[in-house]
Structure 1
Amino acid sequence: MNSIKIAKENIARLNTAITFIEANLSEKLSLEVIAEKAYFSPFHFHRLFKIAVSETVHHFINRKRIEKSAAYLLHQNEINTTEIAEKVGFSSLSAFSKSFKKFYGMSPSKFKKESPEKYSKICKTDSKNGKVTITFEQYICNINNALNWLKMNAKTVVKEVPRLDLAAISHKGKMEAIGSIYNKLVKWATPKGLMNNQTRMVTIYHDSPKITNPDNLRMSACIVLNDPIEIDGEVNLRILSPTKCIVSRLEITPYEFQKAWESSFAFMVENGYKKSEIDPFEIYYNNAAEHSENKFIVDLCIPIL
């Protein structure tokens, strides 16, 4: 968020509004209702939101609805387009199709048909002339490579991850920039006695890089709270309810995270699991800077139905 002109307390309230929007995309979302959730007047909320998020409330809601529909098209083939339109809050199929085509440059049905080739990094290969070419053999080969990599590098189980109470700061923008947000969080947490050898950090991914423009990606940098604590400034309290997940425990370098996530999703698909609407997240068990090989000990968690 662009916080130059906005008090930290207001940033936290804006993040509360964003969380409310993302949890209620299927509902009719008025400016008045959202502003009330964040304890702002509609006028003041609209102005601050535009400054902080760099887009209007209306545009943000529409973008999140379209991106959520794209996730349905990618991961839940059994849901038809009409059902998806209803799930993401469009009043009619025609309105949904028009907005989707304006955003992605193609109809929802074409996106669904082409998505395995165009939107899956696992099975994408570039030919000499720059065009993406896919063969069934390449797809099977890449899936098998991903699964073999996961088997060699991770312990993967399906289990319920217990409730996590989190102190969180939101980040919007490129993934690699989240380090500065963690620096802020540590600076906030250290004088409160929250940083020690047992401290666990969590990154929540609210958007998929396959769907969302890198500049619009939203993540949350979090610290697991073992005891109740007063939250202040731009820090929010987030609660992850107990949820069934595919959990892959790895010890990896920063450069291996993309491969790890792709392989975990390959495991999900090949074993017949369906991703739920809960955002994927990582749980960190160490500080990589203190590791002899600069590796993270981390759980990659994919919530499933």
Structure 2
Amino acid sequence: MEEHKKRIIKAIKYIDSNLDADLSLEKIAETAMYSSFHFHRIFKLITGETLRNYITRKKIEKSAFYLAVKKETGIKEIYLDLGFSNHAVFSKTFKKYYGIAPSAFRSSAPETFHKIVQIQSKNGQTDTVFSQYICNVENLLNWTEMNLKIEVKELPEMNLAAVMSLGIANVEPSYTILIDWAKQQQLFPRENLRMISVYHDSFKVTPSEKVRIHACMLLGKKLEKQEGLVFSETIDAGKFITGSGEVTLQEFEQCWVSLFLWMNEHHYSMRKALPFEIYHSNFKEHPEGKMIVDFCIPVH
């Protein structure tokens, strides 16, 4: 099963890097070194959904994220960039997942900072609703000023060793795999060790059990090849909004929400890159369960 997971990780990375391309079953199966027949069955076994559903969901979730945080980008540009042939096809598919048209979704998110939650309706169908955060914008900005030091700065390229987590519940086991690998490579423990979580999905548009998070460790140089479930990942150098503070795990969501709000209030726009967290301490070693974290958003 470990070998199957390793191959499926390669396939998922390929899909997510080529959402605007022709993602045929044959090409993806070839990437994972399976026959088309066996790949389709194993992909569903490991991820819990068919390849077709996964690709469609990823395209729509990516479009929803861009609609929410890249207000200056036209809807047509977004759906064409993700491979939808026309507005009618895109709108119909989007409504299937979120229950409303893309334009209505954009107007509802995120300047008033609503979050998307999934509820079961009486007929058993999943509806998408927007529930407002308890804190209003003013209170949230006040909380931010008290709890996070926010800066806009250039960060260097970061070479990482990564383990993929499918679902929030699997993040800690992924870090366990990563640390065990690091011990074998005599990379752990060491001074100035930095663990980093890279978010390949947003909790605003992806159910928590399907969010893809990479549990990562900062390396001195690039990892040359995949070793078991550990693979190479790179965060490119660039401009980032960073919010730094000592917070509990329960406050992470509030930190991200407030940081995106700060981004909008100060007229920055997000680059087509991935947000991430850098950990400077371990919450398990703090009497109040707090940890020092940098929350980082790539911006223009």
TM category, shorter: 0.7 to 0.9
1:278-297 alignment runs, 5 A limit? 278-297=273-292
Report what 2:172 is aligned to: 179
Structure 2 residue 34 is matched with structure 1 residue 62 = no
**CA distance in 1 between partners of 2:131 and 2:245 (Å):** 31
C-alpha distance in 2 between matches for 1:294 and 1:118: 30
Q: 1:248 to 1:118 in 2, by over 3 A?
A: closer
* 2:32 corresponds to 1:14: no
Structure 1 residue 40 corresponds to structure 2 residue 34? yes
Give me the whole-angstrom Cα distance separating, in 2, the residues matched to 1:195 and 1:116: 40
Change (3 A) 1:166 1:300: same
Matched letter for residue 44 of structure 2: K
In 2, are the aligned partners of 1:12 and 1:236 still within 8 Å (CA)? no
CA deviation digits over 1:26-71, x for unaligned, max 9?
1221112222233333223222211111111111110011111111
2:205 is matched with 211
Offset of residue 203 of structure 1? 0.5
The aligned amino acid for 1:237 is: S
**Structure 1 residue 155 displacement after superposition:** 1.8
Task: Indicate if the aligned counterparts of 2:114 and 2:130 stay in contact, CA closer than 8 A.
Answer: no
The two structures, once aligned, show a CA RMSD in angstroms of 2.5
Instruction: Give me the TM-score of the superposition, normalised by structure 1.
Output: 0.85
Instruction: Identify unmatched segments of 5+ residues in structure 2.
Output: 117-128
Distance in 2, Cα, partners of 1:118 & 1:107: 18
Amino acid at match of 1:97: S
The match for 1:168 is 162
Which one of 245, 257, 260 corresponds to residue 265 of structure 1? 260
Displacement of 1:270 after TM fit?
0.5
Distance 1:159 1:116, change over 3 A: closer
CA distance in 2, matches of 1:27, 1:10: 24
Q: Deviations over 1:216-265 (max 9, x none)?
A: 11111111112455641111211111132101111112122111111111
Distance, in Å, in 2 between the alignment partners of 1:204 and 1:81 is: 26
Measure the CA separation in 2 of the matches of 1:281 and 1:132.
25
| 1:276 pairs with 2:268 | no
Q: How far apart, in 1, do the equivalents of 2:60 and 2:160 lie?
A: 28
Letter in 2 for 1:187: D
Alignment check: 8 A CA contact 2:113 2:261 kept: no
CA distance in 2, matches of 1:244, 1:275: 10
Give the 3 Å change call, closer, same or farther, for CA 66–47 of structure 1 in structure 2.
same
Letter in 1 for 2:155: V
Residue of 239, 245, 257 corresponding to 1:244: 239
Q: Which residue of 2 aligns with 1:125?
A: none
User: 1:89 and 2:83 equivalent?
Assistant: yes
Aligned partner letter, 1:276: R
Q: Does 1:193 align with 2:171?
A: no
Return closer, same or farther for 1:114/1:96 CA change in 2, 3 Å cut-off. Answer: same
Shift in CA distance, 238/10, structure 1 to aligned 2, threshold 3 Å: farther
Counterpart amino acid of 1:194? L
Structure 1 unaligned residues grouped into runs of 5+:
1-5, 123-130
> For 2:78 and 2:103, how far apart are their aligned partners in 1?
11
> Partners in 2 of 1:272 and 1:70 — Cα distance?
20
Secondary structure of the structure 1 residue equivalent to 2:151: strand
Which AA in structure 2 matches 1:68? Answer: K
Paired amino acid for 2:157: R
1:232 is paired with a residue whose SS is coil
> Residues 228, 23 of structure 1: CA spacing in aligned structure 2 closer, same or farther, 3 A cutoff?
closer
Which structure dedicates a bigger proportion of its chain to helix?
1
The alpha-carbon deviation at position 133 of structure 1 amounts to: 8.4
